[in-house]
Amino acid sequence: MNFHDPASRPEANAPRRLVMRPVANGLDSLCVVFDHLSPPPDGEVTGAALKQVVINLYGAAEVLLKSRLEAEHWTLVVKDVWPKNRQDKKGGVTHEQFRRGRFESIGMDDTLDRLDQIAALRIAERDREALRRLGELRNALTHYGLEESVEAIQSLATQVLHLLLDFLHDDLRPYLDLPERLLIDDTLSVLRDRYQGLSDLVEARMTALASALAPHALVTVPCGMCGQFALVVGQQEPHCLFCRATRGSPRSPAAHFARVFVGDDFHE
């Protein structure tokens, strides 16, 4: 399912042109994610489907988060907008170069920092971690290959989708023109129902694990991969009962636990 930018509809007898605007691109990518993330009625989620989930979800997150920065000013998404030598008039990035895509964009960490510091939009640490994990999966998939459980990717994707769906409505939509606001409204009217199905899938798995997790309640922390409260650390090798990860949190389990429950100001 794709939601196309109304501006891309050609006039009668006009030359065919490809018009793909960032917000519409991000929404299309979200639709691809939903199309591939849920198990089909007659089978299981395939590796090829999960590849599309990882690639398209991270791409959608980058495009949509940067669209909010661009609403503040286009220079905020450019890595180096000014000339290295202010006397060199040929350096830097002009608005024309930006419009044509001839610039180096900032990465995800800088995007989140600028949203916080300039747009006064703070992304919670748990969501930043989810975006970082998703970026690591995308990079591994692109450059080295990927080996990960279906459950881990489904859970991680569900967390990032929750962030993006709320962000679209609350934080991006008010800064867009009317056609893009309507495009977001149309997309969300469909995707929120589909998201609930994914959320129910994750919740059902956690419910099924309740009896297995109960004996380990005092030594269970959120998993650094899937984000679920299912990482058992009171053994020689920490392992997650939800996604079966055995490498534990990206940080030490104790530090990860403290960051989640003490707050974003915790430092190792």
Residue type, position 124, single letter: A
The pLDDT confidence band at residue 14, using thresholds 50, 70 and 90, is: low
- Cα separation, 216 vs 223, in Å, equals 14
Mean pLDDT (the chain, rounded):
79
State pLDDT tens for residues 180-204. Answer: 999 999 999 888 888 887 777 677 7
Residue type, position 53, single letter: V
Mean pLDDT of 169-181: 93
As given in the structure block, the two tokens for residue 92 are 């830097």
Highest mean pLDDT among 81-95, 109-123, 136-150, 245-259: 109-123
Domain boundary assignment for the chain: 6-208, 209-268
- The CA–CA distances, whole Å, from 152 to 99, 179, 212 equal 38, 36, 18
The pLDDT confidence band at residue 268, using thresholds 50, 70 and 90, is: very low
State pLDDT tens for residues 40-80. Answer: 777 777 888 888 999 999 999 999 999 999 999 998 998 87
State pLDDT tens for residues 128-167. Answer: 999 999 999 998 888 877 777 788 888 888 889 989 999 9
Strands (E) across 225-267 are located at 229-232, 239-240
Q: Are 53 and 46 in contact (CB under 8 A)?
A: no
As given in the structure block, the two tokens for residue 39 are 């198990």
Question: Tell me, what's the pLDDT at 64?
Answer: 96
Sheet containing 220-222: give its strands across. 220-222, 229-232, 239-240
Mean pLDDT of 20-35: 90
State pLDDT tens for residues 226-265. Answer: 777 778 886 667 777 777 666 544 444 444 444 444 444 4
Question: Tell me, what's the pLDDT at 258?
Answer: 43
Q: Which residues contact 59 (CB under 8 A, 6 or more apart)?
A: 26, 29
The pLDDT confidence band at residue 218, using thresholds 50, 70 and 90, is: confident
Question: Tell me, what's the pLDDT at 87?
Answer: 53
Q: SS3 for 5?
A: coil
Report which of residues 220 and 145 the model is more confident about. Answer: 220
